[in-house]
Amino acid sequence: MSATKAPHVVLLAGPGAGHVLPMAEFARRLAKNHGFTATIITHSSLSSPTQMYASVLASLPASVTTAALPAVPLDDLPADARVETRMLTVVTRGLPNLRALLAELVRQRGHDVVAFLADMFCAQAFPLAADLGVPPYILFLSNLVLLSLMLHLPELDGATTCEYRDLLEPLRLPGCVPLRGADILDTIQDRSNPAYALMVEAARHFVLAHGFVVNTFDGMEHDTIAAFQELLDKGVYPPVYPVGPFVRPCSDDAAAQHGCLRWLDDQPDGSVLYVCFGSGGMLSVEQTAELAAGLEACGHRFLWVMQFPRDKDSSAAYLDTAGNSDNDPLSFLPEGFNERTKGVGLCVPKWAPQVEVLHHRAVGGFLSHCGWNSTLEAVDAGVPMVAWPLFAEQRMNAVMLAERGGMALRPASGKDGRWVVRSEEVAVVARELMAGEKGKAARKKATDMQKVAAEALTLEGPSRMALAAIVNKWKGAHGGAGKEPSSLLLRAMAPVHAQAHAPHMVVLTSPGAGHIVPVAEFAARLAAHHGVTATVVTFTNLSSPKHSSPLATLPPGVSVAKLRR
C-alpha cells in the first residue's frame, strides 16, 4: 500500500452517546486541522442514538466514516446488572467482530493505519490491534483524576480489603485533589458486584497503551498534568496528551428547531438556572418531587430537562435500560407545578440542545450531574454550576469543580449522594448560585476558566500543541513505521542508553504468547527508558512460531535464551 494517502486512525467508542460524541469531535478535529482520515467504530448493543448523537455522526466530514459492530446477546445478564457490567460485556463479546473489522481496515489501508484509539471501556481490544501491528492508545474522554485512579486501581485492589467508601484517610493520587473514599468512582464501591472485577481487569490493560489522549486541558488540571509528566520521565507511565476540551460548536439548526431556546429568548440575561442530569441520569420519585418544590421556592427562573424517575438505579437511562422510553417524565411533576411556575419555569422531557442552551445569554447557572462532557460544556460557556453528582466518576468531578476549580457549589446535605436533598436545600443552593456572593465568586471562576479553555485551543495553546505532538508522531509512523511491533516504536521514542556496566535483569516467562508478549514489552521499556539490559528466558515446550515475533524485534541490550525440551 502506498504511503501517499492520508494517515488513518481507527477509533473504538464505548457504548452510549456520552462516549461517542466527544470521540466524534476529536475525529472531526483530526480531519479538519491535520488532514487525517478516520473510522469510528460503535457498538449496536446498548446504543439507541439520541437526536444529537445521530445528528453529530451524520454531520461528520466525508473523511470520517463510521461502522457499527453487530449486537451481541445480553439476555444472560441479571436484570439489575450495572451499566458498567453491560458495557464491558458488550465490548468483550464484540471482540471477534472487532477483530474481523480491524483486519479488513488494515487490509484495505495497509500502512496508512497509524493508530488505534480505544475508549476507556474498550482497552481489552488492545491485543487485537497489536496483533495487526497497529499501536494502541486510549482516547480517555474523562479527566486525568479518573485516569490516575484507573492506573492505580490494580494496586489499590491488592493493597486494601475494605470498601473504598470506608477508607479512613483520603486517597491522594499524584497531583490530584484528595478524594474521600465515598467520592471515589461509584462503579468500584462494591467489591462483591461483578462490575468491580471487570473494572480492575480493564484497568490492567491501560499500561499496554502507547499513550493517553485525554479530554482535558492544562488550566483545568495543571498539577495533575505535571505529576503525569514526572511519572513519564521516570518511565512509569506512557505519555499523556491533554488535547481538550472537546465541545461541539453551537448549531444553528438546533436553535431553529427546539422550543426551549425560543423560551429562553424571552428571558432576561443571566436569569435562568438550567437543570439537567445528562442523557442518562435519573432521580428517584421522591427526589424529583423535592427538586420541583425547591425550584418553585427558589424564586429564580429555571429550565429543567427531565428524565423518567427511577428509584433504584440513577444510571438506568444511560443505556436506555429503564424501559420507560415511551412515557412522559413530566407526568411525575407535583400536581399543579406547571401552572404555578408558568412564565418562570419550563420543563422539557428527556432532551434539550445543551451546548446551545448553555451559550444562551439568558442562562446564568447550571445544576448538573457533573458528567465530564457536561462539565466541559459549562466551562466552554463560562457558566457556574451546582454540582449534583449521581453515578460513575461524577462525585470525583464534583470535588474537583468545587474544591479545586471553585466554579461549582454543592448542596450540603447531598455531598455523599446517599440521601435525598430536601427542597429547602435546593432553594438555598439555587439562590446562592444565581444571586449570592458564593455564586458571584463561582461565576468569576467559570468566566476565567472559559478564557483559559479557549486559550488552550489557540495555535500556540497547550492543548493544540499536545495534539500536534501526537499527530506528528503518527505522521512520522505513516507509511510503515506504524506497522512495526511496539518494541521498535519504543526504540524510536527514546534513545537507547549506553550499556556499559548497565544493571542486568533476567526475566523467566511462562509458556504461551500471552505471557511472552508483555514480558518482552516490559524488557524493551527497561532498555529504552532506563538503560537496563535484560535476558528473556522462554520455554521451548508449548511454543509456536508466532511467539518469536516480539522476541525477534527486541532492542539492543535485550537478549533471548530458550530452555530446551
269, 361 Cβ separation under 8 angstroms: yes
| Backbone dihedral angles phi then psi of residue 255, each to the nearest 5 degrees | -60, -35
Catalytic residue among 8, 19, 111, 205: 19
* Direct distance between the N- and C-terminal alpha carbons of the chain, in angstroms, rounded to an integer: 41
3-state SS, 185-240, equals: CHHHCCCCCHHHHHHHHHHHCHHHCCCEEECCCCCCCHHHHHHHHHHHHCCCCCCE
499, 512 Cβ separation under 8 angstroms: no
Count other Cβ atoms within 10 Å, centred on residue 94. 23
Nearest to 223 by CA among 144, 157, 150: 144
Residue 348 pairs with which residues in a beta bridge? 305
Task: Provide CB contacts within 8 A for 438, sequence distance 6+.
Answer: 409, 432
Count other Cβ atoms within 10 Å, centred on residue 35. 12
Question: Any idea which residue has 514526572 for its cell?
Answer: 230
Query: Measured between alpha carbons, how far is 504 from 527 in angstroms, rounded to an integer?
Result: 10
The grid cell for 318 is: 444511560
3-state secondary structure of 92: helix
Question: Any idea which residue has 538503560 for its cell?
Answer: 531
Question: Any idea which residue has 425550584 for its cell?
Answer: 295
3-state SS, 349-384, equals: ECCCCHHHHHCCCCEEEEEECCCHHHHHHHHHHCCC
Catalytic residue among 112, 119, 186, 218: 119
Active site residue 75: no
Query: Measured between alpha carbons, how far is 130 from 221 in angstroms, rounded to an integer?
Result: 31
Query: Measured between alpha carbons, how far is 161 from 152 in angstroms, rounded to an integer?
Result: 15
Active site residue 119: yes
Query: Measured between alpha carbons, how far is 188 from 436 in angstroms, rounded to an integer?
Result: 36
For residue 473, give the amino acid letter: K
Angstrom CA distances, 417 to 33, 183, 388, stand at: 41, 9, 8
- Residues taking part in catalysis: 19, 119
